[in-house]
Amino acid sequence: MSKILIIEDEASIRRVLNKVLLEENDKFQITEASDGVQAVDEIKKKKFNLILCDIKMPKKDGIEVLQFITKEFPEIPTIMISGHGDLETAVESMRLGAFDYISKPPDLNRLLNSVRSALKNNDFTKKSRSTLKKSKEFEIIGKSVEIINLKHLINKVSLTNAKVLIQGPNGSGKELVAHQIHLNSSRNDSPFIEVNCAAIPSELIESELFGHIKGAFTSAVKDKVGKFEAANGGTIFLDEIGDMSLSAQSKVLRALQEHKIQRVGSERDLVVDVRVIAATNKNLRNEISLNNFREDLFHRLAVIEINVPSLDKRKSDIPYLIDHFLKDISKENQSKLKSIDKKAVLELQKFDWSGNVRELRNVIERLTVLSDTEIISFDDVIKFSNKK
């Protein structure tokens, strides 16, 4: 039974929201608050599954309430509602961790869809501590508009079983996106199986994906379970799918169409329930024109397309990434945490990052190791970064 808090200073709007929610599900337990101070008191007393929060309110506004929620109760999804909405307010709300942002007067269908998604996303029985820990491990760092929009899309996509194609340059964080989709989905207690299609020889890719039976080929000395079978009930992540052979592509297509696979050397179908997330740094539309990639497979995979921005397109995130990497490297090496001066950070923001986030991390690790002081300086960046 879901407990919902409506925070709204206008009584007439509270009545409308209450009525709409109870028509959606008469088992909802709804609490109302007419200002931000009362809302905070209610949140401290009860464990809510969802909060609907106005922006402009007396005593304590919605942004302040949202900041309190994300700090003290980050597991509670919050939908912000405001008649004073603009893009800047929406971006600020999403940056602070709001699940969604809806302008007044709200489109009731959109509101209810958002409520359903938020409640599904907030299934406490499935969101275990280990999942939350993993989610932190694969956290996407940044507060730029590009990253806020990316996280918002991940939240929406995670609540479905739609196939996803993640596109972006090497080192931009495509793998993190795939992990976040899985960890925020209803499959998060089931396997996440990753396959680097570029690292597996073309003659072995089918055996790797679908398994084989003993005697299927010379070195097949025993039966082998493939990645699709291992991922049953969970998610399979096909990284660098643009490098997959056409022969393997045709079998992946069948698996997507029929939810069936065959081990190499076998004629017996195996039914699998697998969510497929694929990623590539290639332009698959160009690969299709060159006959390197099947168009029918592309359309099967690209139900949802997610484009991960390069680091050069979100340089405002570099300070946050640097701070994250310094802490991560210190923990990894069990060494004293180093800091970095502002001039050094500004210099790092000027560089071109063709290797994206991965390259930035390597540079920060190099600076951490080679700097002779506890504060990484501008001179250290010039001397050790190997950037021009």
**Relative orientation angle of helices 145-158 and 87-95, to the nearest 10 degrees:** 70
DSSP characters for 20-45? HHHHH-TT-EEEEESSHHHHHHHHHH
Domain co-membership, 201 together with 294: yes
Assigned domain for 139 exists: no
Domain co-membership, 256 together with 363: no
Out of 91-100, 186-195, 376-385, which region has the weakest mean confidence (pLDDT)? 91-100
Assigned domain for 96 exists: yes
Do 85 and 41 contact (CB within 8 A), yes or no? no
Q: What is residue 121's predicted lDDT score, i.e. its pLDDT?
A: 66
| Alpha-carbon 98 to chain mean position | 15
Residue 139 has pLDDT above 50, yes or no: yes
Residue 85 has pLDDT above 60, yes or no: no
What Rg, from alpha-carbon coordinates, does the chain have? 24
Mark which of 290, 307, 324 sits at the end of a domain: 307
Residues above pLDDT 70, as percent of the chain: 95
Q: Residue 365: which CATH number?
A: 1.10.8.60
Domain co-membership, 72 together with 163: no
Question: The tokens of 240 are what?
Answer: 């660098």
Domain that holds residue 372: 313-384
Domain co-membership, 302 together with 186: yes
Assigned domain for 32 exists: yes
pLDDT interval class at 218 (50, 70, 90): confident
Domain co-membership, 165 together with 207: yes
Which segments of the chain are extended strands (E)? 3-7, 29-33, 50-54, 78-82, 100-103, 164-167, 192-196, 235-239, 260-261, 270-271, 275-280, 304-307, 339-340, 375-376
Q: Residue 260: which CATH number?
A: 3.40.50.300
Question: The tokens of 140 are what?
Answer: 């996407």
Question: The tokens of 337 are what?
Answer: 């945490």
Residue 104 has pLDDT above 80, yes or no: no
Q: What is the mean pLDDT of residues 283-287?
A: 96
Assigned domain for 132 exists: no
Mean pLDDT of the chain: 89
Out of 100-114, 254-268, 280-294, which region has the weakest mean confidence (pLDDT)? 100-114
Distance CA(156)–CA(153), nearest Å, equals 5
pLDDT interval class at 124 (50, 70, 90): very low
Domain co-membership, 79 together with 190: no
Q: How many domains does the chain contain in total?
A: 3
Dihedral angle of Cα 224, 230, 232, 238, to the nearest 10 degrees: -110
What pTM does this model have? 0.68
Distance CA(166)–CA(227), nearest Å, equals 19
Assigned domain for 133 exists: no
Give 101's strand partners: 80
Assigned domain for 129 exists: no
Distance CA(5)–CA(31), nearest Å, equals 5
Out of 23-37, 123-137, 163-177, 356-370, which region has the weakest mean confidence (pLDDT)? 123-137
Domain co-membership, 209 together with 303: yes
Q: What is residue 277's predicted lDDT score, i.e. its pLDDT?
A: 97
Assigned domain for 268 exists: yes
Domain co-membership, 177 together with 72: no
Domain co-membership, 56 together with 154: no
Domain co-membership, 258 together with 225: yes
Q: What is the mean pLDDT of residues 273-293?
A: 96
Distance CA(61)–CA(296), nearest Å, equals 50
Residue 128 has pLDDT above 70, yes or no: no
| More confident site: 95 or 69 | 69
pLDDT tens-digit series, residues 310-354: 999 999 999 999 999 999 999 888 889 999 999 999 999 999 999
Residue type at position 241:
I
Mark which of 307, 323, 350 sits at the end of a domain: 307
Assigned domain for 47 exists: yes
Residue 137 has pLDDT above 80, yes or no: no
Q: What is residue 93's predicted lDDT score, i.e. its pLDDT?
A: 79
Domain co-membership, 71 together with 100: yes
Mark which of 307, 322, 343 sits at the end of a domain: 307
Distance CA(148)–CA(151), nearest Å, equals 5
Q: What is the mean pLDDT of residues 22-27?
A: 88
Distance CA(54)–CA(218), nearest Å, equals 67
Domain co-membership, 71 together with 101: yes
Q: Residue 116: which CATH number?
A: 3.40.50.2300
Residue 176: enclosing H or E segment and its boundaries?
Answer: helix 174-183
Question: The tokens of 28 are what?
Answer: 């909802």
* Burial annotation 48-82 (CB, 10 A radius, 16+ → b, else e): bbbbbbbbebeebbbbebbebbeeeeeebbbbbbb
The length of the chain, given as a count of residues: 388
Q: What is the mean pLDDT of residues 5-18?
A: 91
Do 309 and 139 contact (CB within 8 A), yes or no? no
Which segments of 46-190 are extended strands (E)? 50-54, 78-82, 100-103, 164-167
| More confident site: 204 or 341 | 341
Residues above pLDDT 90, as percent of the chain: 59
Most confident residue range from 46-50, 265-269, 301-305? 301-305
